[in-house]
Amino acid sequence: MHADETKPQAVDATIDSAPIALGPKGESWLPMALDFGPLLVFFVATKFIGVFAGTAAFMGAIAIAVLVSKFRLGKVSPMLWLSAILVLFFGALTLYFHDPKFIQAKPTIIYSFFAVMLLGGWMRGKPLLRYLLQSAYSGLSEIGWLKLSRNWGLFFAALALANEAMRATLTFDMWLTIKVWGVTIVSMVFAMANLPMLMKHGLDLGEKKS
């Protein structure tokens, strides 16, 4: 038995609030860094040099994240691809029209996309989250994958509504702070809250292996 087979699998969330697959040799930190890093760059740059410079920095950072993922992990996850495309598209609109409402709409689009995809698959009896995460949840049964897809689909739908409410009622700085820190914390708490259900349906955390 290989040593790395005894390591427990991590349950993390990307900056767009979806669970992520593990990195090389079970290291979840790199996919997490690639997802969170660009948004952290956006947050810091916006705070110190303004929203439009921050948006440009966000676009550059996520392009770098895609390249690092490609050459370090050997692939780019569908979630990172989608996030990068939307950041570049809505970032370009923000800079062209000089209006930050475009970059604020990006989370709503991606949350809504995942909600429709996951809930649609769940209603058809197809746990699409399994195809996105591949082997991230070892041992999880078909029922477990279906429930996980349903739960994240509902969570994304709630996030889409919350983002629209926040960008309609809050200042840009307050919206950005909640997006970076509040949504990330809530997403991680939600991921952990799913653990009892996942373990009930066969999730292997490595604790039973010798």
Summarised one tens digit per residue, pLDDT across range 67-119 is: 998 888 788 877 788 889 999 999 999 999 999 999 999 999 989 999 999 99
Whether residue 76 lies inside any domain: the answer is yes
Range of the domain at 67: 3-200
Does residue 103 fall inside a structural domain? Answer: yes
Interval 134-141 mean pLDDT = 73
The answer as to whether 208 is a domain residue is no
- Of the listed ranges 18-22, 53-57, 63-67, the least confidently predicted one is 18-22
What is the tens place of the pLDDT at every residue in 23-47? 444 445 677 778 788 989 999 999 9
* Long-range residue pairs from 143-149, CB within 8 A, at least 24 positions apart, any chain: 143/201, 144/197, 144/198, 144/200, 144/201, 144/202, 144/203, 146/122, 147/197, 147/201, 148/19, 148/194, 148/197, 148/198, 149/118, 149/119, 149/121, 149/122
| Interatomic CA distance for residues 107 and 103, integer angstroms | 8
Q: Determine, yes or no, domain membership for 207.
A: no
Is 209 inside a domain boundary? no
Residue 10 DSSP label: P
Query: Would 10 be classed as within a structural domain?
Result: yes
State the total domains in the chain.
Answer: 1
**pLDDT number for residue 69:** 87
Please tell me the pTM assigned to this model.
0.77
